């Protein structure tokens, strides 16, 4: 029995040895295979890492690239606010304005033109700037400040700048010029004279003055007669008053100074208005920039006397005149300037003369004091002036 067990154990041991095989060279194969497998794994890992690196880099780069993209966008946003050094760029609209010797905030003529330019800034995205003229001899130099920077449009304000504007237009054919109150005797493609029938606006103001006067005496405080539009206002005013009351007395006074002072003398305007009031005038028409404003403010200090402003609705610009300011003889300078700039932008800039609208401003606080019959008469006159059935009779230079 014991022998049988020993024999059986010996047989099992022999079988196990045969199954395991020898430990020599064949036993080295698994270690060799293991590094190969490890190398393959490493290779795959290396490829994956290499492949992953660009992916990761790309992932990292995406935000970086986005940030890079965002940076120029931010820069572009800043660059989208160009300076006048960019005026040579055809995608940038640049508009400059040169005032007459009156300042840009004269609450009348120059200011109205500047507001038209500012409207182009708001609505057309234009770069806008202005130069205030201190001395008439600087007209050409002030215009050149804009042409040398290649501004697209230069607005010059006032009859007195006509010669300098015309010369600049001849020398800068690529620039468009808008000459406010500058009649063009001949048509050129790059200059447009924004002109108005001041005699018609004056005619309406005179008719209103005559209707509202109780003393049968009215007056006009004026800038210099060297400026044709001032003469046109005065002539229209007198003719409109006589159209209503042929026997009315009219005291019209021009400033005695030249272009350098006639529109910048509010004291003279006030003194002249006071003199007319002392002589019995009960309606004062003031047409002369800051000089005229002086007349309005003086009139406001005299109870029972009306005043009429000029160029723009001076209710908005000279609040000190509210106690007397029944209306203003308006020239639609602001929309006229803007319209011409817009026409340039749209490629239809008109050379020659461009006639702006005129009329009377609202009565504001005096609405109830102006009788309906007077309002109807003024409306009738305005229709007649428009359709030609009523003529002011004024001929420039006559």
Specify which residues 306 forms β-bridges with.
283
Which tens digit of pLDDT belongs to each residue from 218-269? 999 999 999 999 999 999 999 999 999 999 999 999 999 998 899 999 999 9
Q: 38 pLDDT exceeds 50?
A: no
- Is residue 59 in some structural domain? no
Query: Is the separation of the CB atoms in 236 and 201 below 8 Å?
Result: yes
Indicate whether 174 and 219 sit together in one domain. Answer: no
Looking at the structure, tell me whether residues 278 and 373 fall in a common domain: yes
Nearest to 262 by CA among 253, 251, 252: 253
d(CA 228, CA 232): 6
Q: Can you say whether residue 269 is alpha, beta or left, with left for phi > 0 and alpha for psi between -120 and 50 degrees?
A: alpha
Tell whether 149 and 266 lie within a shared domain: no
Helices (H), 125-187: 139-147, 162-171
Determine phi and psi for 389, rounding to 5 degrees. Answer: -75, -20
Residues 257 and 379 in one domain: yes
pLDDT at 81 (0 to 100): 62
Which run of H or E residues covers position 336? helix 333-345
**CA-based R_g, the chain, Å:** 43
Burial class (CB in 10 A: 0-12, 13-18, 19+), 69: exposed
Task: Tell which of 180, 195, 210 closes a domain.
Answer: 195
Domain that holds residue 311: 198-331+363-387
Of the pLDDT bands very low, low, confident and very high (cuts 50, 70, 90), residue 175 is: very high
d(C-alpha 35, C-alpha 329), whole Å? 103
Cβ contact 144:152 at 8 Å:
no
> 135, 165, 195: which is the final residue of a domain?
195
- Find tokens 């046109």 and name the residue: 232
Same domain, residue pair 93 and 224: no
* Out of 52-66, 99-113, 216-230, 280-294, least confident range: 52-66
- Quick one: pLDDT at residue 396? 86
Q: What is the pLDDT of residues 112-138, one digit of tens each?
A: 999 999 999 999 999 999 999 999 999
213 and 153 in a common domain: no
CA 307 to CA 227: how far, in whole Å? 22
> What is the CB neighbour count within 10 angstroms for residue 350?
13
Domain count, the chain: 2
Q: Residue 299 contacts by C-beta under 8 Å, 6 or more apart in sequence? A: 273, 277, 284, 286, 305, 306, 307, 321, 324
């Amino acid at each position: 029995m014991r022998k049988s067990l020993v024999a059986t154990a010996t047989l099992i041991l022999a079988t196990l040895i045969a199954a395991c095989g020898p430990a020599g060279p064949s036993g080295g194969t698994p270690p060799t295979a293991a590094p190969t497998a490890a190398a393959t794994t490493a290779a795959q890992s290396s490829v994956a890492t290499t492949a992953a690196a660009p992916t990761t880099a790309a992932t990292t780069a995406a935000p970086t690239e986005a940030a890079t993209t965002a940076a120029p966008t931010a820069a572009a946003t800043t660059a989208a606010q160009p300076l006048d050094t960019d005026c040579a760029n055809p995608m940038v609209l640049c508009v400059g304005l040169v005032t007459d010797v009156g300042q840009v905030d004269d609450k009348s003529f120059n200011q109205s033109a500047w507001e038209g330019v500012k409207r182009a800034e708001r609505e057309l995205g234009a770069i806008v700037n202005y130069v205030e003229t201190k001395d008439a001899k600087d007209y050409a130099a002030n215009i050149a400040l804009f042409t040398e920077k290649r501004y697209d449009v230069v607005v010059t304000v006032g009859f007195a700048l006509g010669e300098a504007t015309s010369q600049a237009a001849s020398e800068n054919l690529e620039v468009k010029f808008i000459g406010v109150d500058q009649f063009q005797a001949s048509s050129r493609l790059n200059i447009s004279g924004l002109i108005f029938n001041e005699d018609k606006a004056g005619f309406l103001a005179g008719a209103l003055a005559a209707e509202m006067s109780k003393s049968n005496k009215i007056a006009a405080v004026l800038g210099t007669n060297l400026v044709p539009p001032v003469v046109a206002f005065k002539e229209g005013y007198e003719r409109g008053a006589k159209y209503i009351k042929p026997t009315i007395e009219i005291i019209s006074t021009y400033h005695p100074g030249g272009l350098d002072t006639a529109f910048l003398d509010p004291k003279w305007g006030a003194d002249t208005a006071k003199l007319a009031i002392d002589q019995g005038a009960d309606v004062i028409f003031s047409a002369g920039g800051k000089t005229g404003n002086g007349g309005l403010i003086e009139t406001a200090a005299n109870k029972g006397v009306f005043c009429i402003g000029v160029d723009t609705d001076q209710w908005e610009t000279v609040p000190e005149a509210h106690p007397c300011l029944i209306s203003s003889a308006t020239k639609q300078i602001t929309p006229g300037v803007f319209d011409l700039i817009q026409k340039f932008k749209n490629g239809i800039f008109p050379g020659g003369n461009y006639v702006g609208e005129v009329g009377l401003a609202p009565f504001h606080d005096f609405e109830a004091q102006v009788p309906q019959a007077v309002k109807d008469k003024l409306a009738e006159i305005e229709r007649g002036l428009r359709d030609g059935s009523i003529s002011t009779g004024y001929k420039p230079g006559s």
